[in-house]
Every structure is written in C-alpha cells, then in structure tokens.
C-alpha cells in the first residue's frame, strides 16, 4: 500500500544534540511538508518542498533544517538551536504544490531527556 512512513515513532533528545526525523513516501508525490503540533494546538508549518533539491521555510523554521535529495525522502533535523523541541512532528505530501488532500504520516513524538 502507498503511504508515508515516519520513523522513529518516539525519539528522545539530549540537550545540545541534533536529531533527525525520517519521512519517506511511495506515493510519487512531488511536494512534501513538515509540521509541528503542540498539545491541544493545530499544526504549524516548519518547511516544505515543491520538488527535489528545493525547499522553503515555513512559519517556524528557526532551529530546524531539511534536505530533499530524493523525491521520496524529506528528512527533518531538529538542531540544538531549537530551544523547545518537545512536540509531535508530522510529515505530509501532495501530488502537486499545495494541492489537496494532504497525505500524512503517523508522526514522530520528540521529547527532551
């Protein structure tokens, strides 16, 4: 079945450490997105990518970095510069740029040790 796979499901970060969240899709979608969700809140856009080797900052990009070397992969790195990284991270994809519906993975929950 086609879909989006996020790994790991749970991740723990030590102070001062960078961690990378994986997002892989086999839907052959061009566009991919990363969102952050805090408890009881909606989703906030971190980064998005329209095509391979191209990506743009979303609303809360500070302290995060991404790469898009392959169409099916869009990893997110949470750097030590992100002072409040504890959240639920969601990856999504769409066939075209900001078309709908967005297809989501089941998220990665990041916590600080």
Partner 1 sequence: LAKTTQPISMDSYEGQEVNITCSHNNIATNDYITWYQQFPSQGPRFIIQGYKTKVTNEVASLFIPADRKSSTLSLPRVSLSDTAVYYCLVGDDGSSNTGKLIFGQGTTLQVKP
Is residue 84 at the binding interface for partner 1, with CB under 8 A as the rule?
Answer: no
Answer for which of 8, 18, 96, 112 binds partner 1 (CB under 8 A) is 96
CA angle 48, 50, 56 (to 5 degrees): 40
Among 42, 49, 45, 38, which residue's Cα sits nearest to residue 86? 38
Among 92, 52, 83, which residue's Cα sits nearest to residue 69? 52
Distance CA 50, CA 30 (A): 6
Q: Per CB under 8 A, which region of 13-21, 64-72, 79-87, 101-109 contacts partner 1?
A: 101-109
Which residues between 42 and 61 bind partner 1 (CB under 8 A)? Answer: 42-45, 48, 58
Q: How far is the CB of 70 from partner 1 (least distance, A)?
A: 21
Binding site for partner 1 (CB under 8 A): 4, 35, 40-45, 48, 58, 88, 90-92, 94, 96-107, 109
């Amino acid at each position: 079945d086609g879909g989006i796979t996020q790994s790991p499901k749970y991740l723990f970060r030590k102070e001062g450490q960078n961690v990378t969240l994986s997002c892989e899709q086999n839907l052959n979608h061009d566009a991919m997105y990363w969102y952050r969700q805090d408890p009881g809140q909606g989703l906030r856009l971190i980064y998005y990518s329209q095509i391979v080797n191209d990506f743009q900052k979303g609303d809360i990009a500070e302290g995060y970095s991404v790469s898009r070397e392959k169409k099916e992969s869009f990893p997110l790195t949470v750097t030590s510069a992100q002072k409040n990284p504890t959240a639920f991270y969601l990856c999504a994809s769409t066939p075209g740029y900001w078309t709908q519906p967005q297809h989501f993975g089941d998220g990665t929950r990041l916590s600080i040790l």
